[in-house]
Amino acid sequence: MDFTLPAEIKEIKRKARCFVDKECIPLEKDLEPDWIELPSEIHNRLVGNIKTLGLWAVGVPQEFGGVGMGALGYVAVREEQCRSLVGTSHYTPFGGEIPPPLFHATEIQKERYLFPLLRGEKKVSFAQTEPGAGSDAAAIQTTAVQEKDGWRINGVKRFATMADRADFLMVVAVTDPQKRARGGITMFLVDQDTPGINIRRIIEVMRPQHSTEIDLNDVFVSQEGVLGEVGQGFVMAQQFLVKGRISIAARCLGIAERALEMAIAYTKQRQTFGQYLSERQALQWMLADSYMELHAARLMTYETAWKEEQGKDPRIEASEIKCFATEMAFRVLDRSIQIHGGIGLSKDLPLERWFREIRVLRIGEGPSEIHRWVIARSLLKGKLSLGFY
């Protein structure tokens, strides 16, 4: 059993770490605390450097124009980029990520959506959640009715992240009410400027990146707007969420590592009552607990990425790491803020922003309780091994 990363992944991870330390972290002190998008000149400069270093579209297969390093390479770079606020922003310059359903795109769809997204020329928002359907995605009420030349979509979507700034939406709708999740849900590609799309309201949440509520009123989409096969939208959405959960876990690793780095450094420089914080056992235990939890989350996340790369089904593992890593990062951030005291609560440091963002991630893409239910259900059905076999 060898837990060593392949040489090429170690190298790209090293490149990403050096880049983040030299070009991303220094920007934090000059940005507004709740910024959403980098100034265009800074964003474009970073994108150019990222592409030159081969850090763009790391996990995208070469056949689609990516680096082709698979899930392991993606997690390695994602972990490093998320050690900075620049890397955890919604429109991070570490771009070129492609939602897995788009790999089912037709040649026309690739030219119109996939390749522009890969080049960083377009933005996309995923519209699945509804007022009455969150974790229970099979309960969505948005419908798509087939007509002579296409489909007519009606419904309301909620919590589509920054859909108001997207160029197109990936909309999940019911095409067969009888089958629903078993072949009755379809995914559509819909341009933002399509008649009938209305951003009903901006939903401000704890983190700077806002969500939206969208009205879809008689939105017409041609046959070319169907992504993949009719009736396979639920399956593709689940594939999308598996990658999303791996991405979230990697993000949590980077954030937690930076928070722990900052906590360690602060305990070595801060004195109270004539003694460094690093000499106090209470704080030493906080550091030790953070390290142990981070170590466990990292092993779980990389194993899940490895399984996906091997073509195995990592849905249960994705639930494990999404639940464990978000709760781990929340605790590590909480301890780091506590160690920093008053300055940890301030917007002078990235800790309080990350604390809010991680709190959102404990709900988004499935709350912890749903993932625990998924894991428990598999355990009770005897589908999970309790050891190495």
Q: What residues act catalytically?
A: 365
Rounded Cα distance, 163 and 140, in Å: 18
